[in-house]
Structure 1
């Protein structure tokens, strides 16, 4: 187990596609947007960069500014940690948002809030309430001491249960302690407004119970982030090795055992350089939620991984609209089971997939996987869908 990010900067070529709110914010700050062509050959507005800050990615996701993130490289093995860190940042950001939404949706159903609404019909706190950040900050600025006391009241029993849990290692205890703070730190201003408004009022214990139970639930859900990052990396490495083997057979025709070539660092580097020249890349994309208006889909994450080269015509339209008789559909586990015996990492992939499926079931995260193989080409499209 580890925290969701380790580095201040990730050395990755990233394409970020913006939501309408994100594009509006960039334009109002006089930042130029690009029309970016993605792996599915759709063009969307966003930004492209060679390095990215995990904190910036997280902040933009929390503001609903990002709809998709895509990276593409000929090989992933040298960027293993960066790719895993990016995946974890994305998953944790979605978890933070879901935590905040669940807290608010539960708060407005509490007796203490309903009593307030009946007594103050002109100051309703419900699903339609809209208060500007400026207004909320003004209200909270004079309640800093209440915020600190409320934090302590919320966290003390949670921390005690973590420290008293004999099943946790010292490292796990430290991570969980840090994680509870991270989730609270990312609560929206509106939720803090409710907490401070009713702090120590009759009925506040109901709000406390919601916060503590949700913290416990999301500490467990956070384990999924690690499994997802490992699974993404495993799939990327398998795709990378498939491409490298194919290119090795072209560059070194006549060599009896071409597989041995790819383990020579110099030869592998030469093969990777040739793949880059031909634009034979592995693409990984993260599609985040369904937008603020997509009811029930805000906690959705779709991860798509596939190979592509410049001459592949079948990708000219959106992948989703091309699901026709020209491909074979199956689950990811069937895909692994039907891989050739000599394919490296098959057992490892099944092992990771099993852990991921089990972890998702335990914490009520809906997970499905799909593999689409186009019969007229070697293209394999793998899709992982999570609903947090």
Structure 2
């Protein structure tokens, strides 16, 4: 049913994003949880569901979610662990909504926490040992370097457009007190263009800096939100998700993403089109991902991302505000909690609580998630969440 508003996000919280904090994922999660309780005024006894993202620092523990419940003092009747990487937070909102509608629980804490820069990361393994590591392709930087190089071969990729994305997000990050302190410094287009290559054509400033942090959203039914006396609420109006897009195709185009499937589904559910979207908060582990997101979701034609970026005011005062907290590129990536960073900012904006960077008329927002980087094709998970005000 397009535009249904039976589910509500009634609170948000996040910790500062810190490089090598030395803290644990449990500690960071507790701070985000305390922030949710403070922000909403809701007693934790009302929370009977929890949806947590896997981490790079704790997921070697197969009981991560249960230990976390013990740490937070929760006894949920519904528990979910999402292994969707940066797609886990908005995927968690969708799963929480389904659980609430099915009567499995009433109020769900959607929580992401990671301390990847402080603790050794979990080995992803899988096909990497056989196909990637032997040739030196050790992680996302190399994979996105290949993706960017292919896009550059097929389409027009303008350095000036990437530079504009970097500068726009940095200007937003400098207005975000929770952004990583190391990144809260001015950036010019010349700084971007002269930054060193790390996996040509990727520059150092194309990529995120892995940090520590946590964030959370509180999801319930609209009816329950009113019972709890919540004054502000934001409604998930449309959602789409796909994993292993084009997986069976051994010659898949690496520049094609699952947003071409997830996007239309989310728009159809919300009864909206790209031209209706007031602000966009795309997952941004690399700048090229933003460009592809804009194209694949229909904000511009395929291959027209560079021109669209150069022709559009993406600042928080503009026609299509982009990642107004700085995104992960300029606030820092708190490990696999990174996907929650942009989702929390969307809700904050729609609550009218973004301070200096507040968007005028934040009536709706589009948030995306990306998870896992396979070998020789696009990212492994694509999801899209459209939010609307009451």
TM-score by length of 1: 0.21
Q: Which fold has the larger relative contact order, with Cα–Cα distance below 8 Å and residues 6 or more apart in sequence? A: 2
TM-score by length of 2: 0.21
Q: Which has the larger radius of gyration?
A: 1
Of Structure 1 and Structure 2, which has the larger fraction of its residues in helix? 1
